Amino acid sequence: MEFDPQRLARARHLVVFTGAGVSAESGIPTFRDALSGLWEHFDPARLATPQAFRDDPTLVWGWYEWRRLQVRKAQPNPAHLAIAELARRLPRLTLITQNVDDLHERAGSLDVLHLHGSLHQPKCFACNRPYKGALPDVQMPQQGARLEPPRCGGCNGKIRPGVVWFGEALPQAILKQAFKAAGECDLLLSIGTSGLVQPAAQIPQLALEQGAAVLHINPQPQACLAPAEYQLTGPAGQRLPELLRQAFA
């Protein structure tokens, strides 16, 4: 069945749950898309685990600096802007993202729940203290270039990216708020995520189980949909602004 845009206009508490696909049209690669996904070219076991950082900190730090500077050069796209616009139109919106970029904030979204941390908030690998030093702003390291991580002002430990790696716990307070919002909302938009990574992938499921409708926006169609589940197939930067125009015409 087709999603009625009026359901969006009438939502009392909307949860927007985003993944890498929402930033794809800003030029930020996703993880699992065929050909263009990061994990097509890079081995997550060598880059996105605590053991990888222990084994080869300069490789890992260099890779994340390359990605951080890629984000610095990117701009929010119409999907990020439409989500910020929705927050101004609806009584309540909770934005939950798996993304480690800051494009939602730069589009004007407030109080973004970052389940997987941020590229822009590095911290000490040893003592977890946030890193207060400056990071370079302009010079783009070559893809694959090694870089020495800075050192912690407190304990001299190595500074690591402030993202959640495989095998690490998600920030518990943020996860709790995200689950609570998913359990209370009347509509959830799941935008640009493969829904493969746990525990984040439980969020749309939880909303469905609690009686909310779920709308997926993704170029890849969902294999099967529950009765309260809908989809708009296509890029978020087109489908989401279209949906807003229809909902608030």
**Residue (166 or 248) nearer to ligand BJW, CB:** 166
Task: Tokens for 94, please give them.
Answer: 């909770």
Which of ligand BJW, Zn ion, none sits in contact with 92, Cβ below 5 to 8 A by type?
none
Task: Give the CA diameter of the chain.
Answer: 58
145 binds, among Zn ion, ligand BJW, none (CB under 5 to 8 A by kind): none
Active site residue 116: yes
Q: How far is CA 112 from the centre of its chain?
A: 10
Cβ–Cβ < 8 Å for 52, 63: no
Can you give the C-alpha Rg of the chain in angstroms?
19
Kindly determine how many residues on this chain lie close enough to bind ligand BJW according to the rule CB under 6 A: 32
Nearest-approach distance from CB 67 to Zn ion, in angstroms = 23
Catalytic residue among 80, 114, 116, 216: 116
For residue 131, the minimal CB distance to ligand BJW (Å) is 16
Can residue 197 be called a binding residue for ligand BJW (CB under 6 A)?
yes
Residues that bind ligand BJW (CB under 6 A): 19-21, 24-25, 30-33, 37, 48, 98, 100, 116, 163-164, 166-169, 192-194, 196-199, 218-220, 235-236
Q: Report the catalytic residues.
A: 116
